[in-house]
Amino acid sequence: MNGTAKGELSSSLTEKLSRGNVLAKECPSRGILQDVTSRWGVLVLFSLLDGTHRFSELRKKITGISEKMLSQTLQALEADGFVLRIAHPVIPPHVEYRLTDQGGTVARKVGDLVNWIELNLEDILHSQKRFDECKARKES
């Protein structure tokens, strides 16, 4: 019921420099969020957490990603300033990708989430099964 959307931080600190608001339809923060949380964006950030990788290394590491999607998401993350692209002018081409400082920060947050899901996977899968069975019973 006060001016700020969430009670956690007081507006004096929060609104100093124009802060984004993802809950607002037109806010550009939604776009950034999508780059970071997109299907492949998450996995690329997560992969880059353990250091510099070449294009082909990422392709092998992230099973199932296509070249098109890999280059597309790398470009989006580069544009946002989360990933640094270093091209060595040699033949055959040699390009390296690594996280920027900002990228490291987001990647660690994303990695946190990913790790938690990986660890709690069994639990979650059980929940899903229970939910599905419950629904099936009601439909019969």
Which residues make up the interface to DNA (CB under 7 A)?
A: 34, 38-40, 54-56, 64-69, 71-72, 74-75, 85, 87, 91-95
CB 96 within 8 A of CB 48: no
> For residue 93, what are the contacts with CB-CB under 8 A and spacing of at least 6?
87
Minimum gap (Å) between residue 29 Cβ and a second copy: 5
When CB distances are held under 5 to 8 angstroms depending on the partner's kind, the choice from DNA, a second copy, none that residue 91 binds is: DNA
Residue 25 burial class via C-beta count within 10 angstroms: exposed 0-12, middle 13-18, buried 19 and up: exposed
Minimum gap (Å) between residue 33 Cβ and a second copy: 6
d(CA 15, CA 38): 28
CB 106 within 8 A of CB 45: yes
Provide the binding-site residues for a second copy, judged by CB under 8 A. 6-7, 17-25, 28-29, 32-34, 36-39, 42-43, 46-47, 49-50, 61-64, 78-81, 102, 105-106, 109-110, 112-114, 116-125, 127-128, 131-132
Structure-token pair, residue 70: 């890999």
Minimum gap (Å) between residue 90 Cβ and a second copy: 20
Give 80 or 96: the residue with its C-beta nearer to a second copy.
Answer: 80
